[in-house]
């Protein structure tokens, strides 16, 4: 029975992986709302497997590697597929099977820039796996945050509350720049605070409470649109904290 219980975190991790695979298929097929939903589901499973592992004291090297492989699919490959489809929409006005795309070399280069997301996501996870320091913060943007960011861009298309701004947000130039920016943020050496806490003291967690409070405001005011803003807020706050030498 104990050996079965110890597999519960790994089972939850496989649900993360399954959600990422489904999200990738939906993204390639142009159904970005479902791709976004399944990436968000993957993030819930990613949080739950760690919670289950701590609660059941079911840690294993296999679980660690499975978690990284699942994260690569759910928060690297699936977001890359979303970006690829968004670039198709911006270049050609529709989602096409890849064998039907008629493009010049420059347009192919733009489309293939979407693959930077899973490549840099893999590098980020590899660095994380071999990093042995006990630092209480991340180095670079956690890959689930990258996944949520791209999921939100897919979800936003299905909730056209601010549709008049889409032509400015979803331009080819902006999408390529965002792809490069988010890829770079995953491998940058910038310290970024974790939301894991040892206690609830305000003095030790004020920056976390500040982030959570501002995030709540963004989500209440902008709903789905607030998801991308929350990830950008997280990046901006960490840059500010780094410049002002705030210790985590």
3-state secondary structure string across the chain: CHHHHCCHHHHHHHHHHHHHHHHHHHHHCCCHHHHHHHHHHHHHHHHHHHHHHHHHCCCCHHHHHHHHHHHHHHHHHHHHHHHHHHHHHHHHCCCCCHHHCCCCHHHHHHHHHHHHHHHHHHHHHHHHHHCCCCCCEEECCCHHHHHHHHHHHHHHCCCHHHHHHHHHHCCHHHHHHHHHHHHHHHHCCCEEECCCCCCCCHHHHHHHHHHHHHHHHHHHHHCCHHHHHHHHHHHHHHHHHHHCCCCC
Q: What is the mean pLDDT of residues 54-79?
A: 90
When comparing pLDDT for 84 and 50, which is higher? Answer: 84
When comparing pLDDT for 59 and 69, which is higher? Answer: 69
Say if residue 38's pLDDT is above 90. Answer: yes
pLDDT at res. 229? 95
Q: What is the mean pLDDT of residues 8-29?
A: 96
Where along the chain do its domains lie?
2-195
Q: pLDDT by residue (tens digit) across 105-137?
A: 999 999 999 999 999 999 999 988 887 667 888
Q: What is the mean pLDDT of residues 37-48?
A: 96
pTM of the model: 0.93
Q: Which one of 3.30.40.10, 1.20.120.1760, 1.10.3720.10, 1.10.10.10 gives the CATH number of domain 2-195?
A: 1.20.120.1760
């Amino acid at each position: 029975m104990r050996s079965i219980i110890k597999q519960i975190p790994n089972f939850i991790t496989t649900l993360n992986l399954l959600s990422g695979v489904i999200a990738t298929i939906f993204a390639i097929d142009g159904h970005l709302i479902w791709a976004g939903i399944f990436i968000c589901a993957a993030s819930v499973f990613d949080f739950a497997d760690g919670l289950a592992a701590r609660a059941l004291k079911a840690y294993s090297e296999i679980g660690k590697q499975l978690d990284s492989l699942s994260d690569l699919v759910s928060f690297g490959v699936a977001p890359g597929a979303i970006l690829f489809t968004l670039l198709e929409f911006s270049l050609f006005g529709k989602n096409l099977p890849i064998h039907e795309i008629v493009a010049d070399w420059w347009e192919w280069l733009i489309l293939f820039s979407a693959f930077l997301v899973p490549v840099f996501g893999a590098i980020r996870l590899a660095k994380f796996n071999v990093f042995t320091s006990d630092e209480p913060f991340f180095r670079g943007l956690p890959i689930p945050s990258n996944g949520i960011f791209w999921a939100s861009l897919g979800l936003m298309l299905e909730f056209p509350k601010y549709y008049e701004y889409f032509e400015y947000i979803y331009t080819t130039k902006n999408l390529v720049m965002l792809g490069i920016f988010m890829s770079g943020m995953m491998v940058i050496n910038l310290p970024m605070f974790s939301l894991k806490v040892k206690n609830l003291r305000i003095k030790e967690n004020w920056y976390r409470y500040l982030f959570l409070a501002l995030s709540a405001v963004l989500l209440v005011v902008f709903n789905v649109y607030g998801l991308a803003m929350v990830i950008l807020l997280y990046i901006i706050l960490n840059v500010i904290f780094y410049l002002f030498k705030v210790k985590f």
